[in-house]
Amino acid sequence: MTDVIAPPSVATEETATELTLPPQVPGHGIDEGHSGGHEDHGPSGILKWLTSTDHKVIGLSYMITSLVMFYLAGIMALLIRLQLSSPHSSLLTFGQFNQLFTMHGSLMLYLFAGPFAFGGLANFIVPLQIGAPDMAFPRLNALSYWLYLTGSITMMMGFLVAGGAASFGWVAYTPLASSTSSPGAGGDLWIMALALTGFSAIFTGVNLVGTIFYLRAPGMTMFRMPVFTWNMLVTGILILIAFPVLTSALIMLFCDRHFSTHIYTAVGCHLVSGAPYSGCGSPLLWQNLFWFFGHPEVYILALPFFGIVTEVLPVFSRKPVFGYKGMVFATMAIAALSTGVWAHHMFTTGAVLLPFFSLLSLLIAVPTGIKFFNWIGTMWHGQLQFSTAMLFSIGFLFAFLMGGVTGIMLAAPPLDFAVHDTYFVVAHFHQVLFGTAVMGGFAGLYYWYPKMFGRMLRENLGKWHFWLLFIGFWVTFMPQYIVGLLGMPRRVASYPSNLGWQSYNIVSTVGAFMIGVSFFILLVNFVVSWRNPIPAGDNPWDAHTLEWFTTSPPPHHNYTHLPPIRSERPTWDYNHPNDLTVPHGKTARLKKEKVPVG
């Protein structure tokens, strides 16, 4: 291993490279840093994708795979909605319906929303935002992707085995998930798939935290990091809290299914000195373990997208983010509280501490409210530009607000008892997760696509995509609130025709197909972008953060030069020397100094 004292752009790739930090751009004006990116760096073609440890290639691999999973899960959702558009539809058998809603939820939550954010966008963007040449552990990063890909294949293999895919819901409650109630290889493949993707997520969490703690450029202090990077740091910590619990719980579930361990079953109970449950397992233990993962998981899925929106809103409002530190501390507060509220999913079991979990759940509204205040404050008096990314970000605000408000309702046990396991809950969590992962996720895709590929997506097609999606979103999920309040339970393939539920289900199905059409437009946009590329340039949005300083797409190891980092907006400061960012906490003092004396 040789020490190569040269910028990364001239370092050989024949051996592992000792990277050097690129020199600072000498002053403003000529941009000497925008020239790299076209050297020969190792294998090409399929071998490049198999062997690359470059965070950008791995990030793109994650995004492509997760988008495939998203489209597959979307097709499953359309089949589910078609089935429910009439009370006694024979489109699907009950067994097929159970498999589809299980796999729809599993693909969306485990294989799309999380991996797209912390595997895809974070992998690609975080090292760029902090001025790092790569992730801290590149080979571990590559391994994470291969575990994720093979985990995804393992889960989809369920459709090919006798008995079909897993059909016990994405939460796999015991004893329904036991080998007695859900026999067959489909359930086992589901468990093994989540074990693989669980390890993948843990490795990615380690990598994110290590990268952010150790590979920041000089001057990139913690409180100069972009909010997206902050959110990914907090997400990485949440992953390290939550995923080991899930992975170990899954291994125990597998042992229950095959080795008769009875960890999650009450078989074998015996009385010992008046303790009626001593010496036996408990189905509620699975719920406790699962939701100790599951509720932080909601924020593992949400926080990255909060970060994306916090990047997009300032750029298209032509302002710095309002309340930077407030945003950071609110993220921490949300993450901390979200780890203490797992049992609010278990209110109706009658075996959890209602006031404790209700109180902590309600408290999450406070930091979330701070975030909303700051997002609106960022746009307030800004020069708003309604690009596609901006539209998706504003759409996110509306969608997540509705999901959040109904979340506060569900945090109150009396209301939760009334609507638990009805379509009201289905509507709530789709508004939360669709609002964040889809609205926020595609805001990020439209925003960073030029950086990733050096070409633009078409704005007119993007706006068609947004409006069809946005309208379809409300048309799909608002009727589900109503039909839930009318009493329609979730996870049913048929329902009585005399209860007035069908009309709401038809409207919901129409909305789902609008969403489906909107994603067909996105595919068209990709094709148009590749066949007739419009070059993006390095910084098409006149954006603020460091990733926009380098070329589009960035060179191997990201930077040949870096600008001085004196705020959370180094690229803006470099490009606008007469409008430098005011350091945090200095606004009031600077204004005071400007007041003429006497």
Partner 1 sequence: MKIEALFLLFLGVFFGVVGLVYWFWSYEDAGGMMLLGTSLLGFVPGSYYMFWHRRMGKRLEDRDDASIAEGAGVINSFPGSSIWPFVLGMGAFLSVLALVFGMWLIFLGVPLILGAAAGVTAESRRGGHV
* Interface with partner 1 in residues 345-374 (CB under 8 A): 352-353, 356, 360
∠574-579-582 over CA atoms, to 5°?
95
Residue 317 per-residue DSSP state: T
| Residue 185 found at the interface with partner 1 (CB under 8 A) | yes
Q: Which residues pair with 489 in a beta bridge?
A: 422
> Binding residue for partner 1 (CB under 8 A) from 142, 232, 402, 543?
142
Alpha-carbon radius of gyration of the chain: 25
Near partner 1 by CB under 8 A, which window of 8-16, 61-69, 381-389, 399-407? 8-16
Residue 85 per-residue DSSP state: T
- For the record, the structure tokens of 90 come out as 């024979």
Q: How far is the CB of 184 from partner 1 (least distance, A)?
A: 10
In 3D, which of 152, 169, 168, 187 has the Cα closest to residue 72?
152
Contacts with partner 1 by CB under 8 A: the residue count is 82
> Binding residue for partner 1 (CB under 8 A) from 84, 149, 391, 488?
149
User: Within 515-534, which residues bind partner 1 (CB under 8 A)?
Assistant: none
CB atoms within 10 A of CB 243: 25
Q: Which lies closer to partner 1 via its Cβ, residue 331 or residue 505?
A: 331
Q: How far is the CB of 46 from partner 1 (least distance, A)?
A: 11
> Binding residue for partner 1 (CB under 8 A) from 10, 15, 272, 587?
15
Residue 548 per-residue DSSP state: G
User: Within 533-592, which residues bind partner 1 (CB under 8 A)?
Assistant: 557, 562-566
Q: Which residues pair with 275 in a beta bridge?
A: 272
Phi, psi (5° rounding) for residue 23?
-70, 160
Q: Which lies closer to partner 1 via its Cβ, residue 289 or residue 432?
A: 289
DSSP of 290-316, one letter per residue? HHHHHHHHHHHHHHHHHHHHHHHHHHT
- For the record, the structure tokens of 583 come out as 């350091």
Near partner 1 by CB under 8 A, which window of 18-26, 107-115, 262-270, 501-509? 18-26
User: Within 31-90, which residues bind partner 1 (CB under 8 A)?
Assistant: 41-43, 48, 50-54
Q: How far is the CB of 24 from partner 1 (least distance, A)?
A: 4
Phi, psi (5° rounding) for residue 455?
-140, 160
User: Within 431-470, which residues bind partner 1 (CB under 8 A)?
Assistant: none
Q: How far is the CB of 562 from partner 1 (least distance, A)?
A: 5
Q: Which lies closer to partner 1 via its Cβ, residue 13 or residue 459?
A: 13
User: Within 385-424, which residues bind partner 1 (CB under 8 A)?
Assistant: none
Q: How far is the CB of 240 from partner 1 (least distance, A)?
A: 7
| Residue 16 found at the interface with partner 1 (CB under 8 A) | yes
Q: How far apart are CA 66 and CA 271, in angstroms?
A: 49
> Binding residue for partner 1 (CB under 8 A) from 68, 171, 285, 478?
285
CA distances from 301 to 115, 122, 423 (A): 9, 12, 21
Q: How far is the CB of 210 from partner 1 (least distance, A)?
A: 11
Q: How far is the CB of 17 from partner 1 (least distance, A)?
A: 6
| Residue 1 found at the interface with partner 1 (CB under 8 A) | yes
Q: How far is the CB of 115 from partner 1 (least distance, A)?
A: 14
**CB-based contact 177:190 (threshold 8 Å):** no
Q: Mask of contacts with partner 1, 110-139, x by CB under 8 A?
A: -----------------------xx---xx
Q: How far is the CB of 295 from partner 1 (least distance, A)?
A: 12
Q: Which lies closer to partner 1 via its Cβ, residue 153 or residue 405?
A: 153
Q: Which lies closer to partner 1 via its Cβ, residue 288 or residue 581?
A: 288
User: Which residue is listed with tokens 């990020």?
Assistant: 444
Q: How far is the CB of 146 from partner 1 (least distance, A)?
A: 3
Q: Mask of contacts with partner 1, 289-308, x by CB under 8 A?
A: x--x----------------
Residue 44 per-residue DSSP state: -
Q: Which lies closer to partner 1 via its Cβ, residue 223 or residue 429?
A: 223
User: Within 244-263, which residues bind partner 1 (CB under 8 A)?
Assistant: 245, 254, 258
**CB-based contact 340:369 (threshold 8 Å):** no
Q: How far is the CB of 400 from partner 1 (least distance, A)?
A: 25
Q: How far is the CB of 412 from partner 1 (least distance, A)?
A: 19
Q: How far apart are CA 192 and CA 200, in angstroms?
A: 12
Q: How far apart are CA 491 and CA 422, in angstroms?
A: 9
Angle at which helices 502-531 and 441-453 pack, to 10 degrees? 10
Q: How far apart are CA 228 and CA 233, in angstroms?
A: 9
The residues, any chain, with a CB within 8 Å of residue 407's CB and separated by 6 or more, are 361, 364, 428, 432
User: Within 208-247, which residues bind partner 1 (CB under 8 A)?
Assistant: 213, 215-223, 237, 240-241, 245
> Binding residue for partner 1 (CB under 8 A) from 228, 342, 434, 495?
342
CB atoms within 10 A of CB 367: 21
Of the chain, the end-to-end C-alpha distance in Å amounts to: 67
Residue 223 per-residue DSSP state: G
